[in-house]
Amino acid sequence: MKQVITANTIKDMISQGVSLDTISGSAVITPSAQDAINAHNGRSVATNSSYSSQTSSAGGSSDRFPPLPAGVPSVPPEPIVPSAEYTWVPGGDPTTPEEIQRFFYSPDIMAIKKDMINVARKMWKRNMVDGNGGNITIRVGDNLVLCTPTLRSKGEVLLDEIALIDLDGNQKAGWRKRTSEALTHLAIMKVQPKCKSVIHGHPPYSTAFAVANIEPPTCLCSEAEIFTGPIKLVPYFTPGSHELTIAVRDTAKDNPAILLANHGVMAWGSDVEDAYWKMENMETACQTVTIAAGLNGGKLPTINHDGMKDIFEIRRSIGMEDPREGLQECELCQNDSFTGGQVCPIPESTGASVGTSLNPQAEDLVKKLTDQIIANM
């Protein structure tokens, strides 16, 4: 007769220090015994715990708990960090039209198109885009990028309408024409290999900072400091111009969340969800400081230098070096252009209104007008 190994047999062997390797290869091992073996091998089960005494009186763990649903492993797996980053084989881009078309409709690329549509819907639902505004790109090869089409609302654009382009913006597949703003996205991808996806939108609070030409104050919102870092302002250039593309590239290379003066915002990440999160972080931070500026007389206490050093450490641990490391405290949390709602005294020479912070061009203009008025007196 074959030896039958039950969960209790395994438990007794473990508690007596008998190696489980001594179980005969011809023995019949019950499913609950196999679970106990897996648990012991995988997690080093405690032998004198209350768990052991409870299972002995209750007749084994399999009797105490319902069976696992189909497909669930019998022991907890090692936890992993989720990532939707797409990786490709370098030098393996499709080249012929037929290869490109098959690649464009392959299961992996169709799954990424779904991610793109999900983010488009979230942007529209969260008021981050208006009209046909906003656009999304995802890098899928050495020289291939998925791109939302022009003149389609992000609330309605369909998976079938996504285009495939190369890093110079030439359309390679898809029946809808690509967005004209893709060139700024591609410029970032060319200089920043960590950038696998870029999104552009007009979320109201961060766009308000962009329209006011004010960089959001730093050292205030810890999560934004970790995930977006300093939110830099790209000066105004005509949309679609070469100057704008160059300015975006140079500012966004080391800053994944940026403002486009008098226009909107851009964010990039390791995948499209990551890029979207950065835009959401940026928008929430801008909304929060706008509201906070109306509290406590606008005196907003900043995170101190040691606190910021800890934040840089966290950023390094998630692969995001911070361009501000090494700056002194006064340089680090310099928020000159943000008044935080504080009531500033009216400058006698200009008569500027209370609580405003003028940009350099406006200050120049006010000075010229004041000089003219004084000259004419």
Residues marked active site are found at 181
- Tell the smallest beta-carbon distance from residue 290 to Zn ion (Å): 21
**Does the footprint of Zn ion cover residue 203 (CB under 5 A)?**
no
Q: Which residue has the tokens 């361009």?
A: 323
Stretch of residues binding Zn ion (CB under 5 A), selected from 263-271, 302-310, 343-351, 364-372: 263-271
Question: What is the number of the residue whose Cβ is closest to Zn ion?
Answer: 264
Q: Which residues pair with 145 in a beta bridge?
A: 139, 165
Q: Which class for 266: exposed (0-12), middle (13-18), buried (19 or more C-beta within 10 A)?
A: buried
313: tokens are 């450490």
Q: Which residue, 174 or 203, has its beta carbon nearer to Zn ion?
A: 203
Query: Which is nearer to Zn ion, 16 or 238 (by Cβ)?
Result: 238
Calpha distance 282→259 (Å, rounded): 10
Minimum separation from the CB atom of position 278 to Zn ion (A): 17
* Segment near Zn ion (CB under 5 A); pick from 51-59, 257-265, 291-299, 319-327: 257-265
Stretch binding Zn ion (CB under 5 A), from 20-28, 241-249, 251-259, 264-272: 264-272
Cα–Cα distance for residue pair 294/155, rounded to 1 Å: 33
Per the CB < 8 A criterion, the answer to whether 164 and 144 are in contact is yes
Closer residue to Zn ion (CB): 100 or 246: 246
Which of the residues 121 through 140 are near Zn ion (CB under 5 A)? 133
Residue with smaller CB distance to Zn ion, 248 or 333? 248
CB of 135 to Zn ion, least distance (A): 8
**Site for Zn ion (CB under 5 A): how many residues?**
2
State how beta strands 264-269 and 197-201 pair: antiparallel
Cβ neighbours around 111 below 10 Å, total: 11
Q: What is the DSSP letter of 149?
A: B
Q: Which is nearer to Zn ion, 94 or 149 (CB)?
A: 149
**What gap in Å lies between CA 240 and CA 235, rounded to an integer?**
14
Question: Which residue type sits at 130?
Answer: D
Q: How many CB atoms lie within 10 A of CB 149?
A: 20
Q: Is 4 helix (H, G, I), strand (E, B) or coil?
A: strand
Q: Rounded to the nearest whole angstrom, what is the least distance from the CB of residue 305 to Zn ion in the complex?
A: 36
In the complex, least distance from residue 266 CB atom to Zn ion, rounded to whole angstroms? 9
Selected binder of Zn ion within 94, 149, 217, 264 (CB under 5 A):
264
Question: Residues in the site for Zn ion, rule: CB under 5 A?
Answer: 133, 264
